[in-house]
Amino acid sequence: MLLSEVPAKAEIERTCDKLLSYRQANQPRILTVDDDEMLTKFIASILVEEGMLVSPLNKPIEIRETLEQFQPDIVLLDVLMPGLSGYDICRQLRSSEKWKDLPVIFLTSKNDQAGRAAAFQSGGNDFLSKPILAEELVLRVKSQLDFATKQQKALKPERQAGILDGERFINAAKTLIGNAGTNTATSLVLLSIDELTNISFNHGIAATQEVLLSLKNLIQCRFRSEDLRGCLGENMFAIVFSGEREAIISKVIDKLQEEFSTIPFTSGKGAHFRATFSAGLVEYPLDGTNLNMLLDLANQRHLSSRKQKPGAAAFVS
């Protein structure tokens, strides 16, 4: 990579934040769009108490940028706003391939038949009448989230699982890299838990499975839906980032490592410990022109990274 091609630090940080959605497991993300700042703060205070992550937006014109940055699970959308109405925004969402299935709940003072019809005709899933009642707000939001989850499981079971098995990952990765072209950088990383055998010996099988599941869950919920994730064995995970340079993905993996290393685990004997993982990162076409070449080099770098570590699974109490 030429020095002039190395991304600036600010660009790397922005891209890292975008790649790592930081979607907490079991913490739904709610975007509330209303020009009334007091109302959005009121809604946020209620939903945060329910364990949800809420982003208020008081300038509807910024909806597209906010969607990409926040990646919401549901949108609460005011009907009457300056510049862009809730109906206009909802129609835009329904015309987008990425956001066409995003649940939308309208917030409206029009509690008549015409108001309801307009909400549903523009693509809304439900509506709430103003003034907003806390109990009704929570009930409607949870209902839409539950319905959306069931729909995703029914329509896309492999995407819902998040991580493909080895054969499906290999086939999908070959296709992705084959379609990328030599002018499009694509990064591939291999990850595995350090000292897994020692973890099993010292802490037991149940604790070992908990460590593996924790890393799997992080890989599953931290990255964008378009990033290809796979499991190539019990202790080998792979991720392909289309259109991203190695310099940026290296920072992303560092952040994932930081988060994973803070997770406390408990052995069968009641002792507490933490774990780490090793990673091998390569970039197409700089490090290889086909998947086999990339996997081989990534594995070499992964093994080299592991050898440089003194150990893992240190006791904390």
Peptide bond into 285 cis (omega under 30): yes
Domain boundary among 155, 185, 212: 155
112 shares its domain with 191: no
Asked, for residue 7, whether it belongs to a domain, the answer is: no
pLDDT reading at 160 higher than 70? no
Domain boundary among 155, 186, 217: 155
Decide which of 137 and 119 is more confident: 137
According to the model, what pLDDT value does residue 17 have?
64
pLDDT reading at 1 higher than 50? no
Mean pLDDT in residue range 207-219: 91
Asked, for residue 92, whether it belongs to a domain, the answer is: yes
Instruction: Give Cβ neighbours of residue 131 (< 8 Å, ≥ 6 apart).
Output: none
Mean pLDDT in residue range 168-188: 87
pTM over 0.75: no
81 shares its domain with 172: no
Mean pLDDT in residue range 216-225: 79
pLDDT tier for residue 210 given thresholds of 50, 70 and 90: very high
Q: What's the CATH number where 96 sits?
A: 3.40.50.2300
Give residue 39's domain range: 24-155
pLDDT reading at 163 higher than 70? yes
Asked, for residue 179, whether it belongs to a domain, the answer is: yes
According to the model, what pLDDT value does residue 111 have?
67
Asked, for residue 19, whether it belongs to a domain, the answer is: no
Asked, for residue 8, whether it belongs to a domain, the answer is: no
117 shares its domain with 170: no
179 shares its domain with 278: yes
Q: What's the CATH number where 170 sits?
A: 3.30.70.270
98 shares its domain with 129: yes
According to the model, what pLDDT value does residue 125 have?
86
According to the model, what pLDDT value does residue 305 have?
92
107 shares its domain with 202: no
Asked, for residue 313, whether it belongs to a domain, the answer is: no
184 shares its domain with 286: yes
215 shares its domain with 246: yes
According to the model, what pLDDT value does residue 3 have?
38
166 shares its domain with 31: no
Asked, for residue 41, whether it belongs to a domain, the answer is: yes
295 shares its domain with 165: yes
28 shares its domain with 106: yes
Asked, for residue 257, whether it belongs to a domain, the answer is: yes
148 shares its domain with 170: no
According to the model, what pLDDT value does residue 252 have?
87
According to the model, what pLDDT value does residue 157 have?
44
Mean pLDDT in residue range 58-81: 90
According to the model, what pLDDT value does residue 2 have?
41
Q: What is d(CA 90, CA 40) in angstroms, rounded to the nearest whole number?
A: 18
Domain boundary among 99, 124, 155: 155
pLDDT tier for residue 129 given thresholds of 50, 70 and 90: confident
Q: How many domains does the chain contain in total?
A: 2
